[in-house]
Amino acid sequence: MDGFVKVVAIRSTEIVKRAAEIHGTTPNATAALGRALTAASMMGNMQKVDNGSMTLQIRGGGPIGTITCVSDAQGNVRGCVTEAKVPLVEKFPGKLDVGATVGTDGALTVIRDLQMKEPYIGSVPLISGEIGDDVTAYFAQSEQTPTACALGVLVDRDCSVKVAGGYLLQLLPGAPEETIDALEKGIQRAGAVTAMLEAGLTPEEILGQVCGDLGVVFMETAEVAYKCYCSRKRVTSALISLGREELTQIMQDDKPFHVDCQFCDTVYSFTPDDIQEILKKV
């Protein structure tokens, strides 16, 4: 309410459900990918750059390999992991150990395409592999913005996604100590984000719980979804970039050539005649 804090929250249940369906993830991978998608959606939306995009990449040396998520300027997001079928690891019964799945021997990297000549790239060492802590550390170290990030994905016993979501709080320059103290108490009082989501709280209500007496002015609400921008035209452009020699080899194999989209599993098929037409454009 006082203009010293920027806040954003998301209920990303359907996004995470869609990602799990596309990639066939096991519970630990669903939770890790879901948290990353949730963070990427909020971070992409916060950029406010028309036609811009934000890529969040997490590589921690754990069994899931690399997590890659890409958000557009609205917050529509897509993502993938190296290994979708990771083993079940729990901190205690009923609590998935996302940190063990992601690992801590690596880095979190953010690539911001702000529609300028070069993208902005920031990278920080992973702290816990739990993703929320690591996003908080990224903003503090790479962008010098005091941030609190909470992410949650609740996977049901039948391996389906029950709820998913999160929030991001950022202090703006000049924020007084009493505002910071109020936020810290609010975060502790609100508790785990999954519990609030499971109780049916909306993103607005979650921020109300966290910010408490500080109050919140809602500037914008946006509908976001799991959305991939792949197309046959884009795949064709990628094939052209392979060059004449490799395309000639593909054509001479004289069998259909398939290209799978890593984000949405759409398969694009090209016949030898299609490849020959592409060769004419090289």
Domains annotated for the chain, with CATH where assigned, are 5-214 (3.55.30.10), 232-281 (3.90.1280.10)
Question: Strands, E, within the chain: which ranges?
Answer: 5-11, 53-59, 66-72, 77-81, 90-92, 95-96, 107-113, 120-125, 147-155, 161-171, 257-260, 267-270
pLDDT at 48: 78
Distance in angstroms between the alpha carbons of the first and the last residue of the chain: 57
* pLDDT of 152 above 90: yes
Average pLDDT for residues 256-278, to the nearest whole number?
92
Report residue 223 as tokens. Answer: 């509908």
pLDDT at 1: 80
Average pLDDT for residues 7-35, to the nearest whole number?
97
* pLDDT of 22 above 90: yes
User: 226: which DSSP letter?
Assistant: B
Average pLDDT for residues 161-174, to the nearest whole number?
96
pLDDT at 115: 79
pLDDT interval class at 184 (50, 70, 90): very high
pLDDT interval class at 32 (50, 70, 90): very high
Average pLDDT for residues 224-230, to the nearest whole number?
95
Among 27-36, 51-60, 113-122, the minimum mean pLDDT is found in 113-122
**d(C-alpha 154, C-alpha 264), whole Å:** 22
120 and 66 Cβ atoms separated by less than 8 Å = no
